[in-house]
């Protein structure tokens, strides 16, 4: 396992000094009452103090951050270089697996089509034989009725259509040869995706409002903003400390 060296950019005395100033500013903010000009003045003094401490903390941490960031970037670049060399073979193999899976499904569909057509032929022939046998039995019954002197029954039998129940034959398609088991191999996953065929036909609930573009227009035009469905308004807030 790779060892990680902790980076401690501040000495204990520096950290204690910062913590003391942080506590002082927090206490001042909690006790602050802004209900008169003097209170407002004190509030801005606290804001300025927070800004000054922010800059001081950032200055203290900047050298360590720069060094650590440079090392991190070098490590990430080396890692990315090795990983990138695996993308091409992975893409090639996955593409061939996809092509083979498509071919297997085509072969399976073809086998099922052939089996279905064969079953339909067998069923049609069985239906023809069953119909013929039923008609012959009906004719025999009519002849027997005629011989017995019951001409009306014989005529009724001959005029009544002979109906035979549909003959069903199971469809048996030979499955495509199974793939040998490989340790760690994953199953093919069917992933649905889409493309925009007609942008104008997409329902409103599937559209996303471009708030970034609207924000830029509002910042530029301010009170003159004229976008249907949008109301531009101002929010007052103290200017934040500038971080460098």
Q: What is the pLDDT of residue 149?
A: 86
pTM over 0.95: no
* C-beta of residue 216 within 8 angstroms of C-beta of residue 232: no
CA distances from 90 to 86, 100, 131 (A): 6, 15, 60
Query: How much is the pLDDT for 108?
Result: 87
Encode pLDDT of 65-119 as tens digits: 888 888 999 999 999 999 998 889 988 988 988 888 888 889 888 988 888 888 8
Across 161-171, b (16+ Cβ under 10 Å) vs e yields: eeeeeeeebee
pLDDT-derived band of residue 166, with 50, 70 and 90 as boundaries? Answer: confident
Go through the chain and tell me how many residues it has. 244
pLDDT of residue 165: 85
By CB atoms closer than 10 A (0-12, 13-18, 19+), residue 188 is middle
Torsion of CA 95, 100, 102, 104, to 10 degrees: -170
Check whether 22 has a pLDDT greater than 90.
yes
Residue 214: partners with Cβ closer than 8 Å, 6 or more residues away:
227, 230
């Amino acid at each position: 396992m790779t060892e990680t060296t902790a980076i401690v950019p501040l000495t204990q005395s520096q950290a204690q000094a910062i913590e003391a100033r942080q506590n002082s500013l927090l206490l001042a903010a909690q006790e602050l009452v802004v209900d008169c000009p003097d209170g407002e003045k004190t509030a801005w003094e606290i804001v300025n103090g927070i800004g000054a401490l922010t800059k001081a903390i950032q200055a203290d941490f900047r050298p360590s951050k720069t060094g650590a960031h440079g090392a991190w970037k070098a490590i990430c670049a080396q890692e990315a270089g090795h990983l990138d060399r695996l993308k091409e073979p992975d893409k090639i193999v996955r593409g061939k697996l996809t092509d083979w899976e498509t071919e297997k499904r085509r072969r399976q569909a073809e086998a099922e089509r052939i089996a279905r057509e064969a079953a339909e032929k067998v069923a049609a022939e069985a239906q023809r034989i069953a119909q013929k046998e039923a008609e012959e039995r009906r004719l025999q019954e009519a002849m027997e009725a005629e011989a017995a002197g019951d001409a009306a029954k014989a005529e009724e039998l001959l005029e009544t259509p002979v109906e035979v129940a549909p003959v069903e034959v199971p469809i048996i398609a030979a499955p495509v040869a199974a793939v040998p088991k490989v340790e760690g191999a994953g199953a093919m996953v069917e992933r649905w995706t889409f493309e925009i065929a007609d942008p104008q036909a997409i329902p409103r609930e599937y559209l996303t409002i471009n708030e970034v573009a609207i924000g830029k227009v509002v910042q530029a035009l301010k009170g003159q903003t004229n976008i249907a469905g949008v109301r531009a308004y101002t929010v007052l807030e103290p200017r934040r400390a500038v971080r460098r």
